[in-house]
Amino acid sequence: MNIKITYNWILDYLETNANPYEIQKYLSLSGPSIERVEKFEDDYIFDIEIISNRIDTASVIGIAQEATAILPMYGKKAKLKFNPLKEYVFEKIRSKQVEKNNLKVKILSDNLCSRFSAIVLENVKIGPSPEFIQKRLNAAGIKVINNVVDISNYLMLTLGQPVHTFDFDQILDKTMIVRESKPGETIITLDEKEVKLPGGDIVIEDGQGRLIDLCGIMGGLNSAISKKTKNVLLFVQTYNKTKIRKTTMTTGVRTVAATYFEKGLDEERVEPTLVFGVKLFEKYTQGKVGSKIIDIKNIKHQPAIINFDISLINQKTGLEIDNNTIKNILINLGFDVQINKNNINIIVPSYRKYDISIPEDIVEEVARVYGYHKIPNNLPPPAHVNQPEDFKNLFKIIRQIKYFLKHLGINEVINYSMVSEKLLKEWALDPKKHLRLKNTISEEIEYMRQTLLPSLWKNLKENTGKKEILKFFEIAKVYLPKKKRFTR
């Protein structure tokens, strides 16, 4: 996926002396690829490619945080002015809570919604959003609608967490039930299209059983914000990413929000998004907090801890990076780091839980920020050097056999290690006794072979007529069953 954000938007959070083109150059070398920079009035638009396992960078704050780690490696000043992910906490708005507009919430399975947060803003005035929000959304390619919807989209791009807004008075019985859809159920979405659900999709129904939200994808028309809306439910949540992905594929309904949710979002980002949302609503819609904060967590974040000998980083990269540089790189990326002699202890931030789990992941983080282009381009030693004696002998024997067969005029072939069921049966071999691939991309490569002969016979058959005499050989692995295949 790609996102578009502007230079001045990033500067809301990042203090730097790097110009837009320097940010493009250096971040593309060591982090998110900025594919294009365009002048836009008194600003610049960045078109940024976001890779699937780094959805945390699909936001202004995500790019700013990457910049704090990368730009200093190229002699540029960069630090966060403040971090909204740490600054915007419930304590900022807890004193504003009131005992009214109570929403009843039921989540029928913990597997559907890992975090559910909401708050009511009352006496909201619907109108145009401020000019700076309109300009930034236009630059991002997002349609400007009104202050309520625009704030929702602004929050998503700023913090990387989609939000949804409901007309609170249209939620019947002031009840929301999060459940799986039943096969054949339908919902009319915000774009006024009827969507037939295959079943197992995450939906919300109100107290009268009406579907009011196709979760993580698009809200229902029956609870949408309109010019008559007075009370808004600001709703921030995280969902089962697999279910969101499945629903977008089976229904064909794809939105920007779904693109975020299907990658797997950080539950810890829900709180700052809701608090920042309240701040924007109070300022630009004149709305006031009109309920208690609802915050349901169905998952408790347990930060991953990675501990290893720090010399591994230099061993794997071939570089000589001093410990302070390593520590600063990781701290600027949001890791909690402690170094004691040769031991490094790292606590992984919640927004990196899907892609950082082993020491080699940390090595990769340090290497990319320090600069892949600084890694020595020396060739590795030959395969037979520094290997056990048995391996050396095997390597030598295979080389001699190939050399001998080649000089007999026999051509070497290299086939897939997998064969088709049809080929096995043609050779009177039982497919059930062969290991079958569960996720094969073709019937031609479905079973792991136990002999090389069927593949060689197929080579002869496919090349018949091209030469009077065909001579082939292959030296490769076969895959034989073992009595004890797995240990637990």
What pLDDT sits at residue 466?
85
Average pLDDT over residues 207-227: 94
CA distances from 460 to 327, 394, 412, 415, 470 (A): 59, 28, 12, 12, 7
pLDDT reported for residue 313: 93
Query: Looking at the predicted structure, is the pLDDT value of residue 230 above 90?
Result: yes
* Residues 26, 95 within the same domain: no
Q: Tell me, yes or no, whether 242 lies in a domain.
A: yes
Do 201 and 159 lie in one domain? The reply is yes
Same-domain check for residues 337 and 425: no
Longest dimension (CA), the chain: 92
Give CA–CA dist 51/32, Å, rounded: 8
Q: What are the two backbone dihedrals, phi and then psi, of residue 340, each rounded to the nearest 5 degrees?
A: -125, 105
DSSP state letter for 412: E
- Asked whether the beta carbons of 252 and 194 are under 8 A apart, the reply is no
CATH number, position 245: 3.50.40.10
pLDDT digits (tens, 9 = 90+) for 236-275: 999 999 999 999 999 999 999 999 999 999 999 999 999 9
| C-alpha distance from residue 57 to each of 34, 137, 156, 352 (Å) | 12, 18, 12, 10
Please check whether residues 172 and 292 belong to one and the same domain: yes
Name the token pair of 110: 């913990």
- Residue 107's alpha-carbon distances to 164, 223, 239, 296, 346, in angstroms, are 17, 19, 11, 9, 35
Residue 487, pLDDT score? 43
Distance CA 453, CA 184 (A): 51
Task: Please work out, in degrees rounded to the nearest 5, the angle formed at the alpha carbon of residue 291 by the alpha carbons of 285 and 294.
Answer: 110
Q: Are residues 256 and 273 in the same domain?
A: yes
- pLDDT band per the 50, 70, 90 thresholds, residue 190: very high
Among 287, 256, 249, 369, CA closest to 321: 369
pLDDT at 390: 76
Helix (H/G/I), strand (E/B), else coil: 113: strand
**Burial class of residue 405, CB neighbours in 10 A (0-12, 13-18, 19+):** middle
Total domains in the chain come to: 4
Residue where a domain stops, chosen among 267, 297, 327: 297
The count of C-alpha atoms lying within 13 angstroms of the C-alpha of 11, restricted to the half-sphere facing its C-beta, is 14
What pLDDT is attached to residue 488? 37
Task: Encode pLDDT of 362-410 as tens digits.
Answer: 999 999 999 988 888 776 566 555 667 777 788 889 999 999 999 999 9
Whole-angstrom Cα distance, residue 354 to residue 22? Answer: 30
Please give the model's pTM, rounded to 2 decimal places.
0.78
Average confidence score pLDDT of the chain: 92
Short-list 144, 152, 169, CA closest to 228: 169
- Our CA angle for 217, 223, 227, nearest 5°, is 115
Q: How far apart are CA 375 and CA 18, in angstroms?
A: 24
Rounded Cα–Cα distance for residues 121 and 275 (Å): 12
Whether residue 22 is found in the same domain as residue 54: yes
Provide the pLDDT confidence category of residue 486 given band limits of 50, 70 and 90: very low
Residue 114 within any structural domain of the chain: yes
The answer as to whether 350 is a domain residue is: yes
Same domain membership, residue 352 and residue 262? no
Phi-psi region of 223 (alpha: psi -120 to 50; beta: other; left: phi over 0): alpha
Q: Based on the domain organization, do 316 and 285 belong to the same domain? A: no
- The single residue listed with the structure tokens 């780094």 is 54
* pLDDT number for residue 481: 87
DSSP 180-239: EPPTT-EEEBTTS-EEE--SS-EEEE-TTS-EEEETTTEEBGGG---TT---EEEEEEEE
Measure CA 266 to chain center. 10
Q: Is residue 397 part of a domain?
A: no
Band (4; pLDDT cuts 50, 70, 90):
very high
Q: Are residues 20 and 166 in the same domain?
A: no
- What is the residue whose two structure tokens read 């593309």? 28
Angle, nearest 10°, between helix axes 131-139 and 147-159? Answer: 60
| 51 shares a domain with 7 | yes
The reply to whether 285 and 238 lie within a common domain is yes
pLDDT at 342 over 80: yes
Task: Give the domain-ending residue among 240, 274, 297.
Answer: 297
**Which amino acid, residue 111?**
N
> What domain range includes position 314?
305-374
Residue 391 belongs to some domain of the structure? no
Position 442 scores a pLDDT of 87
Last residue of a domain, one of 26, 58, 82: 82
Do 206 and 334 belong together in one domain?
A: no
Does residue 389 lie within any of the structural domains? no
User: Which residue in the block uniquely carries the two structure tokens 């697999």?
Assistant: 242
Amino acid (one-letter) located at 382: P
Domain for residue 485, yes or no? no
d(CA 324, CA 421): 57
pLDDT of residue 484: 62
CA dihedral (365, 371, 372, 375) positive or negative: negative
DSSP code of residue 18: -
Chain centroid to CA 263: 4
Is the confidence at residue 288, as pLDDT, over 90? Answer: yes
N residues, the chain: 488
Q: Residue 44's closest CA among 24, 58, 61, 30? A: 24
| CA distance to 125, 383, 399, 402, 479, per residue, from 394 (Å) | 79, 12, 9, 12, 18
CATH assignment at residue 58: 3.30.56.10
**Residue 390 within a domain:** no
